[in-house]
Amino acid sequence: MKEENKKQLKVFAILVFVLAVVAGISIFTPIPSQFDSLQQPLPASKPVLALANFGIMLIIYGLLGLAGYYLSKRLNWHGVFKEKENWRKLFLRPLYIGSFLGLILIIGDKIFSQFHSLGEFPHPAFPFSILASLGAGIGEEILFRLFLLSLWAFILGFIFKRFNKQNIINWAAIILAGLAFGAGHLPGMMFVFGFSTIAEIPAIIIIEIFLLNGLVGIAAGREFIKYGLIAAVGIHFWTDIIWHVINGLF
């Protein structure tokens, strides 16, 4: 194995381990009082569930991430991070982009909430909102960018390889992964607002979910292809810090 791959896989292993730890800790997160009626009896003690959560996340996201890493390298992308890239682009650039997107989400939610009676989207309680931001930033980017975006680009590239339009294929994959990213937030909205089916969700909320999450997905997807998974995780994390943590405090 090349030295570059060893470095990348070590960083990836650290990310998955952090994700698994956050998933285990999340079992102990207090449930807000407004969701008391939705709570169900736990099938086991919290320590047992925390350990199970840790193991499940470690295995599932580890395997999906490794598959995505393999596909991204087949596409001649950077995988986990771009080698020999300066720290500014790997860390500060995602901070700038994520902070801007977080503000867009805050403003967008305030505008959309004027067109329905459910109010603005709720946020996790502080300081657990920080853990939620970290877990989502790592887990969702492994799933939707490293794995799913790479998979779509690989499939589309195989189908349309005659046309030699890799840039178009990349953007198609970014958009498809972004749509899947938006759809992945629908179950959470159903839980938060107490809907039994997706059909019960007002159309304006569905539009908001796909539009706002789609913007984050497209930005993270573009940076993933240019600079690797670390950049996408950074954008997602800082977006959530502004959107869930700082906005949630106010």
d(CA 91, CA 102): 16
Q: Quick one: how far is CA 15 from the chain centroid?
A: 13
State the residue range of the domain holding 96.
Answer: 3-249
* Number of domains into which the chain is organized: 1
Q: Please report the pLDDT score of residue 163 as a whole number.
A: 77
* Residue 138 clears pLDDT 80, i.e. is over it: yes
Average pLDDT over residues 7-23: 96
Render pLDDT for 32-79 as a digit per residue (tens, 0 to 9): 555 555 556 777 788 899 999 999 999 999 999 999 999 999 999 999
Report yes or no: 234 and 95 within 8 Å, Cβ to Cβ.
Answer: yes
Q: Please report the pLDDT score of residue 185 as a whole number.
A: 93
Q: What is the pTM of this model?
A: 0.93
d(CA 173, CA 150): 8
Q: Please report the pLDDT score of residue 95 as a whole number.
A: 96
Render pLDDT for 84-131 as a digit per residue (tens, 0 to 9): 777 777 889 999 999 999 999 999 999 999 999 888 888 888 889 999
Q: Please report the pLDDT score of residue 29 as a whole number.
A: 80
Q: Please report the pLDDT score of residue 247 as a whole number.
A: 94
